[in-house]
Structures are given as structure tokens and as C-alpha cells.
């Protein structure tokens, strides 16, 4: 017997996608295995590490904790959505400049949490930055550099906007 399928329509990284999925798959399985956007990582699979963080309608969420069907009609951004043609996104540039990347496994999730934070609050203080990435674990423990990178990114984005 043919299994029931769910008709899903999402906007992901600015592109509209319409596809039939198994209703039981997670958002993380959809993103990595079906859409082949491998930047989003799977760490714990139970909402504890933040490696799978994506942005949905402007908010950072753990893709491993959601069904793909819950993305229906939503605007989704993965780390690939930061890609620029010829240069790094300012958040990526700041992470690079501040040595905020070691093995890189946590980095996509950190970038997504940062993107959501700076969209909502372009000028966060250090405590707000720490809170925004509290759900993102870095097993290389480079937290100080990551916080520095996020602070730098906030300044860089504001400078870019002022230069307009």
C-alpha cells in the first residue's frame, strides 16, 4: 500500500519549493537528506546542542525537534542562505576575522543564531549575545572568540548600513 504523503510548500533561502514528503520526517531530515543542504548539522538529535539551528520566520529554532510538515508555508533560512556571490556574509567575515571557528561543526548553528539575533536586535550587548547562543554548544569551547565574532558582526553590519 502506498504510504500517505504530505504536500509541503516552503520558501527556503529565498526559493520556493513544493514537494511531497513522508509526514513523519523531521525538518532536519528534509533539509539535509532531501534538499541536500548539508550545512545544517546533526549533533545530538534531541534539541540539546544547537548544531541543527535554522531560522524560521526570523527566529532561530532546532530543526531536529520539528516535523518537516511544520515548515509548511513558512520562510526558512539555512546557513547556505548567507552565501554571497563574491564575498563572505558580514557575519561569516567577522567569525573568520575573530577566529571564531575551530573544527567548524557548531559554526552553521552559531551563524544562524547570530543572524536571528542581529535581525531582531542589531546592537546587542554582550549579555544578550551570550543568551542568544546559549543553546549552541561548541565542543571546541571557543566561546570567547565566538562572542567577539558576533559583537564584531553587529558593528560591521551597522557600518555597512550607514555606508548604505
According to DSSP, the residues that pair with 16 across neighbouring strands are 11
Per CB under 6 A, the list member of 90, 108, 142, 149 interacting with ligand FES is: 142
> For residues 55 and 11, is the Cβ–Cβ distance under 8 A?
no
- Residue showing cell 555606508: 163
- Round to whole Å and give the CA distance between 137 and 119: 21
Site residue total, ligand FES (CB under 6 A): 23
Task: Choose one: 80-88, 89-97, 105-113, 154-162; the region binding ligand FES (CB under 6 A).
Answer: 105-113
Q: How many CB atoms lie within 10 A of CB 8?
A: 20
Q: Which is nearer to ligand FES, 9 or 47 (CB)?
A: 47
Spell out, one character per residue from 56 to 95, where the chain touches ligand FES: x when CB under 6 A holds, - when not: ------x-x-------------------------------
Using CB under 6 A as the binding rule, whether residue 134 contacts ligand FES is answered as: no
- How would you classify the pairing of strands 59-62 and 75-77? unpaired
For residue 10, the minimal CB distance to ligand FES (Å) is 19
Residue 145 CB-density burial (10 A; 0-12 exposed, 13-18 middle, 19+ buried):
middle
Using CB under 6 A as the binding rule, whether residue 101 contacts ligand FES is answered as: yes
Q: In the complex, which residues of this chain contact ligand FES (CB under 6 A)? A: 42-45, 47-52, 62, 64, 101-107, 138-140, 142
Amino acid at each position: 500500500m502506498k504510504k500517505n504523503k504530505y504536500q509541503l510548500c516552503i520558501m527556503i533561502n529565498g526559493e520556493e519549493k513544493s514537494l511531497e514528503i513522508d509526514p513523519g520526517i523531521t525538518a532536519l531530515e528534509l533539509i539535509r537528506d532531501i534538499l541536500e543542504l548539508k550545512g545544517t548539522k546533526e549533533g545530538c538529535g534531541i534539541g540539546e546542542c544547537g548544531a541543527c539551528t535554522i531560522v524560521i520566520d526570523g527566529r532561530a529554532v532546532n530543526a531536529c525537534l520539528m516535523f518537516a510538515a511544520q515548515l509548511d508555508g513558512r520562510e526558512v533560512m539555512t546557513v547556505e542562505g548567507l552565501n554571497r556571490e563574491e564575498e563572505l556574509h558580514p557575519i561569516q567575515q567577522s567569525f573568520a576575522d575573530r577566529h571564531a571557528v575551530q573544527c567548524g561543526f557548531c559554526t552553521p548553528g552559531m551563524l544562524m543564531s547570530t543572524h536571528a539575533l542581529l535581525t531582531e536586535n542589531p546592537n546587542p550587548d554582550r549579555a544578550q549575545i551570550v543568551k542568544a547562543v546559549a543553546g549552541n554548544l561548541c565542543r571546541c569551547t571557543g566561546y570567547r572568540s565566538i562572542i567577539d565574532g558576533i559583537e564584531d558582526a553587529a558593528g560591521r553590519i551597522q557600518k555597512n548600513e550607514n555606508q548604505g
